[in-house]
Structure 1
Amino acid sequence: MSPPPPKSICIKIIFLSSITIMASFLHFSPILLTLLPLLVLLSPAHSLTCTSQTFTNTPTKYTNCTDLPYLKAYLHWTFDPTNSTLLVAFIAPPAKPDGWIAWGINPTSTGMAGTHALIAMKDLKGSLIVKTYNVVSYRSLEETSKLSFKVLDSKAEDSNGTMKIFAKLELPVNMTTSLNQVWQVGSSVKNGVPEKHEFAPENLGSKGTLDFDKDAEGATGGGTTGGGNKNGTAAAQSGNETGGVSRGSGGVLGFLLSFGIIISLSF
């Protein structure tokens, strides 16, 4: 019985085989090979943007979307100045599976306190619902239907670890050019009432200005939410937060990360 090949030979075989597979996989593209180190550092979550998201259970077509800067949240929206209606689809993962998500408007300031919010959560029967609240303070909620805007319609969905709030709002005159938006996520609901969220920097920073003119034009400096994107294609089907871009990059990155693990373990 012949002795096993030296470890150095095994390492070379693994390395050369991996290089061959990778080169074939990338079709010998010099550009992709040059970008290989950068791709390895990325993750599918970082590849995701609002323009890759689609919606399956609503016929609404949202013309704009914004990658919100905190809590892995996204906002799709359409504003109609002729009747002052705002269509929104807010997407975010709750802090825990049985938690809640919220999006709202602060009619008087830019902070959390005073926000009139739509909160998606599960009721006592386990069904996903949307309730409206006045955020009296950072530690106090008041369920109410008396908001600074009219909620013409609302519903919630959940899939793949995220929740979504869909709503049609009628805005007052002082909110028809811009508004102070606030969003949040929490980890639990007790007796049908959302419990307080964490007070980490990203929770406290989840607020900004939605400017219907600047953000609709995709301005990178329009408001504290980081601007918006034209979203003519991301409007019709959803539930799939990963989208085409993330699916493709996830496959490539999965292979590249596996390749890196093989090499590091071999050495």
Structure 2
Amino acid sequence: MDRFKAPTSAIDLCYFIKQRKKSEFVSNVPPMYFALGVNQCADGSAYLEYGRIKIMCCVCGPVELKQDGQLVTSFRFAPFSSQIRRDTFKDAEEKRLSQLLLTALEPSVILDSFPRGKYQIAVTVLDDGTELNDYVCSTSSCLSAGITCATLALVHAGVQMYDLAIGLDVMPRALNSNSPEGGGLISSLAVMPQLNQVTMFNGISLGIRSLDGLRTVMEEAFTRAESIYATIHGTLYSIMKTDYKKLEKLE
């Protein structure tokens, strides 16, 4: 079935919508909300809202295997997740993001705790945060949110971890306030704040040309990661405390 074709005299709806200013890099963490146990059929699950991005992750396992313990990751965009058509590069981009997700999570999980077992981690983007007047979707921001959401799902599944892997956005404006408008691309970074380690750095589009620039990015990232970690840690503690009180009442 052919798609509906507008007449040549039609005016794009984007011209009637007030353009949203692209905000410069800020050190503050965007509004965040998360919930655990959203999928009762999975061993662990989490739902995360990070700014305008809405994302969900399910963890299944461990499944017994003949080889050593391993993680299998998948990163998918729901058909309704974006205002922008992404059919042309969907498969290739999802494969690349799945591999980056694995790179970010694998160092944080104690694989020796489930020998000959496999955990399957499935991340689904429900809303990539785009609006009608956006022409480009930031897949890096979705990846950053997906890393944090997957970490929450692993925690809910009871997987033993060295530290929480936190996904963050990195923008060139953090390096140079005089950077051109065309340099507003976003890259993603994953860190373990308590161990002070970087697990994944997808900085191809950043254009970092000096060690000082890289140092600035890392210092800013760990500062924001500690803030996110404190929020997650405090919420998880409250959830655990509430569940413990419920068990006490049952006894």
TM-score tier after normalising by the smaller chain length: under 0.3
TM-score normalised over the length of structure 1? 0.25
TM-score normalised over the length of structure 2? 0.26
Larger Rg: 1
Higher relative contact order (CA 8 A, sep 6+): 1
